[in-house]
Amino acid sequence: MAVSVQPFPASSTSMGAYMPPTKNIKMQACPSPGPIHLSQRFAALKESMVSRREDSLVSSWRQLLEAIREEVDLVSSLGSQIVPSIDFADIRKLEYAESFQEELRTRGVAVIRNVVPRDTALDWEDETRVYLDQNPSKATSPARGSKLHEVYWSPAQVQARVHPNILAAQRFAMGAWKSKDPNARISTNFPITYADRMRIRTKGDMELSAPSAHIDGGSVERWEPDGYGRAGTYRDIFQGNWQDYNPWEASTRIPVASDLYRGVGSCSIFRAFQGWLAMSSIASPLQVCPMPQLATVYFLLRPFFSRRDVDTPWNLTRPQNSILHGALPSYTQEISRALHPHLQLDRSLVSIPRLEPGDYVIWHPDLIHVADGPHLGSHASSTTTAMYLPACPLTQTNALYLCRQRKAFLLGCPGPDFGGGRGESDYVGRPGVREVNEAGGEDGLRAMGLLPWDEEDADSDAERQVMAMANAILFPDLYDML
């Protein structure tokens, strides 16, 4: 298929008066360390979820606590060694790839080394510094003990998102996801881009407040029938059969609504993995709780159980209250020692191994993590730089988001999940469609929603249908849908 970028001018004038829809609520950490009562509808929801399942849930809870105790002992004994890693050069070698993906499914986190050459990553760090220096109006926001730069379209970010090695690494990693439904409308073979921010840390950042453990992808939505309940993502857990819950079942993630309250910075699409690409040497930039099944089951069941005091056993709360521990509408899901004591976060949170420029760390969207502890650069005055680089499959929801993100890219506005405003529209050095083509070729253009997918590349009828659906959303003129 020939490359054509004519339909996508880089000028905001030709785009008319379009501005991306805005989000009004800033996504942030839960404001209280203790349990918070929500509206009574959540108490009614919890009652309906436990009704006629009391015995199975109590039995499930007790088995869960025993399994967690054993797993925490294992995690604590192994520490950072528990995080699997593979060199990018080995992802196509079955003897390495199969064992790596098995470990990835078990732990929910992994490092892919040398995804881009070290010199390339260092060049991107330099280009980022130049881009920020040339545009002093850049916005930053302190978050969880580090500094997020509210830039989305720097040359380094655009080049990284469409780099052939990045796309190959994402395809490989997303192979960990499977679907019991052969007709599920999802393709992990054709990653799409998700424009997120930069994380730049300096020595002074270590003086900020300690970051907290949290989970991406919504909070109260995980219990709500209109959130993750739409897809039955956690049905086995809430029915008392947590052993049957598979964190890697893709079909139960496709119709999820993870952003019912439209918090700024909350993700509204399906990210198969959250991820960072290191552009400098970074020691222990991330802590994770590498128990994707057990920890998820625990924080979801925790609101249904309580105890009267420290000397009494945990039992099903009767009647159910409106508390969803660590979850509030429009806030991220917080995990704490006080609210989630059985996870023993002081033992179950482990640091990922040191990252070098060009390394790519990925983790499951439900994984408990702490985004940065104290700044640990190689010397006192050092700055560490990483970009958020999630891996996103092709689905209907994701294609709809990509259509809006494409407009934001052409105008230099923030990604749709990150509020409105002019963003980088007047920034010097902001790349356009030509730079995407130069950095990523046809695959890069497709990942940015700038070129239709070739449906002949599909491996199955279901995948072909996904590609046709995405093409119809992004390129309606091809289907006489204008």
State in Å, rounded, how far the first CA of the chain is from the last one. Answer: 22
State residue 121's pLDDT score.
98
N residues, the chain:
482
pLDDT at 294 over 50: yes
State residue 263's pLDDT score.
75
pLDDT at 323 over 90: yes
Average pLDDT over every residue of 220-248: 98
Q: Which amino acid is it at 18?
A: Y
Cα 90 from Cα 280, distance rounded (Å): 22
Task: Yes or no: say if 474 and 193 are a contact pair by the CB < 8 Å rule.
Answer: no
Residue 25 lies in a domain: no
State residue 39's pLDDT score.
97
What is the CA angle 31-352-157, rounded to 5? 75
Q: What is the pLDDT of residues 368-418, one digit of tens each?
A: 999 865 444 444 337 899 999 999 999 999 999 999 999 999 999 999 999
Cα 314 from Cα 323, distance rounded (Å): 16
Residue 395 lies in a domain: yes
Number of domains the chain is built from? 1
Residue 20 lies in a domain: no
How high does pLDDT run on average in the chain? 89
State residue 20's pLDDT score.
37
State residue 328's pLDDT score.
95
State residue 148's pLDDT score.
82
State residue 207's pLDDT score.
44
State residue 262's pLDDT score.
82
pLDDT-above-70 percentage for the chain: 86
47: number of Cβ within 10 Å? 14
State residue 211's pLDDT score.
75
State residue 22's pLDDT score.
52
State residue 444's pLDDT score.
99
Residue 24 pLDDT level (bands cut at 50, 70, 90): low
Q: What is the CATH number of the domain that holds 286?
A: 2.60.120.330
Exposed/middle/buried for 177, CB within 10 Å: 0-12, 13-18, 19+? buried
pLDDT at 137 over 80: no
pLDDT at 310 over 90: no
Cα 148 from Cα 262, distance rounded (Å): 20
Residue 64 lies in a domain: yes
pLDDT at 431 over 80: yes
Q: Which amino acid is it at 58?
A: V
State residue 421's pLDDT score.
77
Average pLDDT over every residue of 299-310: 94
Residue 120 lies in a domain: yes
Give whole-number Cα distances, 355 to 180, 313, 378, in Å: 35, 43, 11
What is the CA angle 37-42-43, rounded to 5? 80
Q: What is the pLDDT of residues 170-187, one digit of tens each?
A: 999 999 999 999 999 999
pLDDT at 474 over 60: yes
State residue 210's pLDDT score.
65
Q: Which of 63-67, 261-265, 276-280, 383-387 has the lowest mean pLDDT?
A: 261-265
Residue 14 lies in a domain: no
Residue 9 lies in a domain: no
Owning domain of residue 37: 33-479
Q: What is the pLDDT of residues 311-321, one digit of tens each?
A: 889 999 999 99
pLDDT at 338 over 70: yes
Residue 147 pLDDT level (bands cut at 50, 70, 90): confident
Q: Which of 2-11, 173-182, 328-337, 358-367 has the lowest mean pLDDT?
A: 2-11
State residue 30's pLDDT score.
58
Considering 69-73, 143-147, 414-418, the range whose residues carry the highest mean pLDDT is 69-73
State residue 314's pLDDT score.
94
Average pLDDT over every residue of 202-220: 76
Q: What is the DSSP letter of 199?
A: E
Residue 136 pLDDT level (bands cut at 50, 70, 90): confident
State residue 12's pLDDT score.
34
pLDDT at 120 over 50: yes
pLDDT at 31 over 80: no
Which residue do the tokens 């060199």 mark?
87
Stretch (H or E) spanning 73: helix 54-78
Residue 5 lies in a domain: no
Q: Which amino acid is it at 460?
A: S
Task: Yes or no: say if 264 and 81 are a contact pair by the CB < 8 Å rule.
Answer: no
Average pLDDT over every residue of 194-208: 77
Average pLDDT over every residue of 262-291: 91
Q: What is the pLDDT of residues 188-200, one digit of tens each?
A: 999 999 999 999 9
pLDDT at 10 over 80: no
